[in-house]
Structure 1
């Protein structure tokens, strides 16, 4: 086709000079009138509203009842108007295409994950995304993801990059953008007023819907997260328990205490055998409960629905109501224990400690290559039991002689690739789902794969308890196991975790917890398992761990709240 033909279609030709006719390569681009921004944004907003919000419309139509289609039309008009206003706000020549492309890609990615796992995009989920490591990303890369990106983002990206914006002077662009934003918001208000009754009912009864609106959910989540994180990132961490000291039990101790804290990953209470689950997923712990005084706590609530929130909250001096679920601005339990003079070690088989272990000795299993436990850059949890004596011996000897707190952070039941979390000889339930796209598997297969991870945690905890018992000649030992959050396994179309706390199901909020004290630790603390068992059914939460560990380790400080110390209930002079 001759070059002159392209002069009739400058909008198509201008963005890619030389692409269609090699003779144009290197030539000065032809003058172009460009496309009116409102046209580009109107079409793009409509595409984002329809193709970029399929999970939202499926949800609206499924819960809308007899007025579902009226509700759908009202909400579609509202979403399209808001998207038009958002696109108009960013309509500036230098950045428009790049920012619009990011919004389109975010909407496409959100569509995939919301359809596949039933998640929604809120600030806590965005924090998860920003802190996800390469191993976790690999588990989420399924064949459906690129297909969704192409189908949802492809046409929109073609539209964005094929149509250059019509050049305007800065003041003209500002005036027109302001007018377009005002128009979009006015239409959104009008749509909301027209369909207020249906929209109010939808948002009141299905709060998660507000986090399903693409790409507004991403913009909101990023903004809210930045508003929370940026001010605190410039603040120095505030000290906690500066008066911390060791109590009277250390004065003439025969043996130092050794407490192991196992922080579980994605274990939900519902599938824990000790809690009455239909399957016995915890046979080893059940035996320890019958024979050796292990105590199970069946009613424990998590502080958050994802690791990024829950792990710092577990160790925070603040309760959830006090802000323990927000980005930490205070030191944590490990800092207080170390300040009191104890040796502390964090052993990680996960994606990191989320800042909790920043000021204490830390060991990660990432670089280990033990062929018995490690494969493809990931290790099974039992790797943390290898060489424990040597790891303890490497700690500061003066601190170690006073006492040790060892934290082991599990890979546990991290999804969606549950089948990767268990070695071949630790799969009592089958057949199991071997796909990262859990919705592709039968419900029974997903549950089998997940239950295998709980059974493997049971084996790991059993080995940990056996190791602790073997240390009784050198230490007074104890163990507390507590999971960070739960998991959805397809109930109501939900998978994984991370829903906003207010709307999260119990499967994501209720977690298992057990405690075991050796006879030496019982004598040291005066805490009897029988007493604990009598109080174990009381409702507990992550809020209790900080104070319970301080009490069990006899660390005296004003920040210790005996009301949240579960061991004080059964200690001499405790809150009976």
Structure 2
């Protein structure tokens, strides 16, 4: 319900279709009208009594038939209770609304001493990108031609990663918090900003909350002063417009830039990609994904990965030329289902979700100046999103006097101490 209530108008419009309209009219409006027109008749007093008696009998019979499952339901009652329909909608809507009035106090983390490395870190948070469709990870279609070439040249490090959740808000908390199970503490952007590090957040997405940074900008705000940006305005490339200026203006400071992409957010995958990047055809352009052929649906999704390949390569090209140590970390918030097992999109509880919804790409690039002071670990061991907080913190803090929050075991980098 949190996802439902946090959905913006733009995302909502993406789910509207003729099929949905017909369904609402046929199974909602017409039955409602028919019931409204049927005249009420006084019934015997026995009818309500017999109906209640029948329901009680059915309830008892059902409970006895499922007696062997009582212990399991009792053990998982807290989790299952939020899924029982129709109560799930009303109960969970109340829970989400209550958070607005009973928001827990965000506790400050202990202060740390930043170093003077003048490092520039770009954290790119993708949307609904699943690892399976990246040629970098063995996918047969050429969805990542630019990054694949860089991988051949040993410029990139890939990790086998899973997301903490299958929806954006929970995954963002995991990415940005020091401990996903205890997110009552301030998150990474807030923590770094408080320590004097410049933190910029550029977003073409939603789901961010309790973030205090040096500057927060939506993509349409970034390109207001760009004279020839009409072509990129609706797309993720608009987030990169100001990156060259940031690199020049803050070459003597520690900087974290967070780019929150629209990425591969469905159901209108084709709307996330400029026409010249829609290379896989035919592609689905309908919000009703089940009505699309398997080939066209996958092509539409693969086009978003192809466009993302271009964006990441463009970021890397800028960082290559930077005059300061620079690092790019890209990971997706979660994966996506494309009809496997009749599942689409994402959001299924991770405990029962298919792997397509939580196996994500995780890509790291470092320029030569950065490699002089840090090295990226090489491991085939699966990692989680909770490595981000500690990996980024390790770049900026004075490791001779590390923060008590810092956990080296979750740092993907090895650092030369000052």
Give your verdict on TM over 0.5: yes
Determine which structure has more spread, i.e. the larger CA radius of gyration. 1
Deviation at 1:373, TM superposition (A): 1.0
Seen in structure 2, the aligned counterparts of structure 1 residues 494 and 279 have a Cα distance that, compared at 3 Å, is same
- Across the aligned residues of Structure 1 and Structure 2, the Cα RMSD in angstroms comes to 3.3
Superposed CA offset, 1:151-172 (max 9, x none) = 22124423664579999xxxxx
Q: Distance in 2 between matches of 1:373 and 1:229?
A: 36
Q: Is the 8 A contact 2:193 2:213 kept in 1?
A: no
Deviation at 1:517, TM superposition (A): 1.1
SS of equivalent to 1:420: helix
Q: Distance in 1 between matches of 2:333 and 2:373?
A: 29
Q: Distance in 1 between matches of 2:138 and 2:189?
A: 33
Equivalent residue runs for 1:50-449 within 5 Å:
126-158=1-33, 161-162=36-37, 186-193=56-63, 195-196=65-66, 217-227=85-95, 230-231=98-99, 233-235=101-103, 237-247=105-115, 250=116, 253=117, 256-297=118-159, 299-319=160-180, 322-323=181-182, 328-350=183-205, 352-367=206-221, 368=223, 370-374=229-233, 379-390=234-245, 401-449=252-300
Q: Distance in 2 between matches of 1:187 and 1:152?
A: 30
Seen in structure 2, the aligned counterparts of structure 1 residues 353 and 402 have a Cα distance that, compared at 3 Å, is farther
Is 1:514 matched up with 2:363? yes
Q: Distance in 1 between matches of 2:106 and 2:329?
A: 27
Q: Is the 8 A contact 2:112 2:397 kept in 1?
A: no
Deviation at 1:446, TM superposition (A): 0.6
Seen in structure 2, the aligned counterparts of structure 1 residues 493 and 199 have a Cα distance that, compared at 3 Å, is farther
Q: Distance in 1 between matches of 2:101 and 2:213?
A: 16
Deviation at 1:290, TM superposition (A): 2.4
Q: Which residue of 1 aligns with 2:390?
A: 547
Superposed CA offset, 1:409-433 (max 9, x none) = 1111111111111111112211111
Equivalent residue runs for 1:471-486 within 5 Å:
471=322, 473=323, 475-486=324-335
Q: Distance in 2 between matches of 1:182 and 1:383?
A: 61
Q: Distance in 1 between matches of 2:213 and 2:321?
A: 29
Q: Distance in 1 between matches of 2:50 and 2:98?
A: 31
Q: Distance in 2 between matches of 1:559 and 1:160?
A: 61
Q: Is the 8 A contact 2:201 2:213 kept in 1?
A: no
Seen in structure 2, the aligned counterparts of structure 1 residues 212 and 314 have a Cα distance that, compared at 3 Å, is closer
Q: Which residue of 1 aligns with 2:319?
A: 468
Higher normalized helix content (fraction of residues) = 1
Moved over 6 A (4+): 163-167, 179-182, 197-200, 210-213
Q: Is the 8 A contact 1:335 1:360 kept in 2?
A: no
Q: Is the 8 A contact 1:344 1:405 kept in 2?
A: yes
Relative to the length of structure 2, the TM-score reads 0.85
Q: Is the 8 A contact 1:416 1:436 kept in 2?
A: yes
Number of paired residues? Answer: 399
Q: Is the 8 A contact 2:163 2:384 kept in 1?
A: yes
SS of equivalent to 2:258: strand
Select between 498-507 and 180-189 the one with higher mean Cα deviation.
180-189
Q: Distance in 2 between matches of 1:158 and 1:359?
A: 52
Superposed CA offset, 1:404-459 (max 9, x none) = 00000111111111111111111221111111111111101111111111111010
Q: Is the 8 A contact 1:487 1:496 kept in 2?
A: yes
Gaps of 5+ in 1: 1-125, 168-175, 204-209
Deviation at 1:330, TM superposition (A): 2.6
Superposed CA offset, 1:353-406 (max 9, x none) = 4215345420101455731113xxxx1111111132445678xx7xx7331000
Instruction: Say which structure, 1 or 2, has more relative contact order (CA 8 Å, 6+ apart).
Output: 2
Q: Distance in 1 between matches of 2:240 and 2:194?
A: 26
Q: Is the 8 A contact 1:315 1:356 kept in 2?
A: no
Q: Distance in 1 between matches of 2:31 and 2:81?
A: 22
Superposed CA offset, 1:454-504 (max 9, x none) = 111010000010011122x2x211100010000000101111111111110
SS of equivalent to 2:179: coil
SS of equivalent to 1:492: helix
